[in-house]
Amino acid sequence: MTATTSTSNRRTGSGWRGFGRLLTTEATVWMRDFAAPFFGIVFPTIVLLGVGFFIPGMRETITDAPPDSVWYGLTPIATFLPTVLAMAVGTASLTVMPVSIATFREKGVLRRMSTTPMRPQGIVMSHLIINVATTIVGIVLALVVAAIAFGVPVPSRLGVVLLAMALGLCAMFSLGMLVAAVAPRASVANAVAMSLYFPMLLVAGLWTPGPVMPELLRQIGQFTPLGAAAQALTEGWFEQTVPTLQLVVMAGWTAVLLPLAVRLFRWT
């Protein structure tokens, strides 16, 4: 019995042996694909620059708000930044990662990996790490550009912003993993992801950011993972309050979606 347990433990441990090499290989292949790095890293910054420089009035100081309002003295492009950061999370989690994993399922990669010493979970974990890491790189790039090009102020409550970003990453990547878990083909994953992505961008404020968002959209958005992330980031950036509801919503989505994705994941 002891020998059997020892053998089982060795097999369990060896299942992740070589994961570092797998991660490096998958990251190299991922970077060679133009679309994935572009949308995962560069796209949010391009949107920020396009809105800031090509939409009139985005760099002008807001003076028509009440003097005691948090928006008074800011620029519209500054209020747009939290939405862009939320969009960066949504782009990688919904439009990049699920399609990659569904492609592996469609081509039988996941099934074939189950016959190798490396656990099939390794390739899923590697793409989760790659997409989370590149999302963070894209966020940092957008922040640097926002500070240099538009003079966006630092967050008023940095801790709230960091917590909101962490919960937003968890909630959105849990949703992306659920799509990746059940989509039989890349085309299905892309269709499902896009049907979720664009409505979420609407309620997150991509077209109506900050102070100009209609109240109905704001009320709906605070109960969606991406809308809650955008609102929590905005509140943490410009206000002194804590967006408790939005933080709880993102934690709740993560607690529901992630176990569901693990349970429903299909290898073939």
Task: Copy the structure tokens of residue 25.
Answer: 């290989």
- Separation between Cα atoms, residue 258 and residue 268, nearest integer Å: 20
Element (H, E) at 197: helix 186-204
**What's the pLDDT at 21?**
86
Residues in the chain: 268
- Separation between Cα atoms, residue 173 and residue 93, nearest integer Å: 5
Are 17 and 117 spatial neighbours (Cβ–Cβ below 8 Å)?
A: yes
Are 52 and 81 spatial neighbours (Cβ–Cβ below 8 Å)?
A: no
**Nearest residue to 79 (alpha-carbon basis) of 222, 202, 211, 200:** 211
pTM of the model: 0.89
pLDDT band at 128 (very low <50, low <70, confident <90, very high): very high
**Nearest residue to 40 (alpha-carbon basis) of 79, 104, 90, 109:** 90
DSSP structure class, residue 212: G
**What's the pLDDT at 118?**
63
Per-residue pLDDT tens over the stretch 54-90: 999 999 999 888 888 888 999 999 999 999 999 999 9
**What's the pLDDT at 193?**
95
**What's the pLDDT at 1?**
40
Sign of CA pseudo-dihedral 63, 67, 71, 74: positive
- Separation between Cα atoms, residue 233 and residue 86, nearest integer Å: 8
**What's the pLDDT at 17?**
74
- Separation between Cα atoms, residue 123 and residue 126, nearest integer Å: 5
Asked if residue 137 has pLDDT above 60, the reply is yes
**One-letter identity of residue 207:** W
Please state, rounded to an integer, the average pLDDT across all residues of the chain. 89
158 burial level (CB within 10 Å; 0-12, 13-18, 19+) = exposed
- The proportion of the chain whose per-residue pLDDT surpasses 70, expressed as a percent, equals 92
Per-residue pLDDT tens over the stretch 227-244: 999 999 999 999 989 999
Are 127 and 29 spatial neighbours (Cβ–Cβ below 8 Å)?
A: no
Task: Copy the structure tokens of residue 196.
Answer: 């979720």
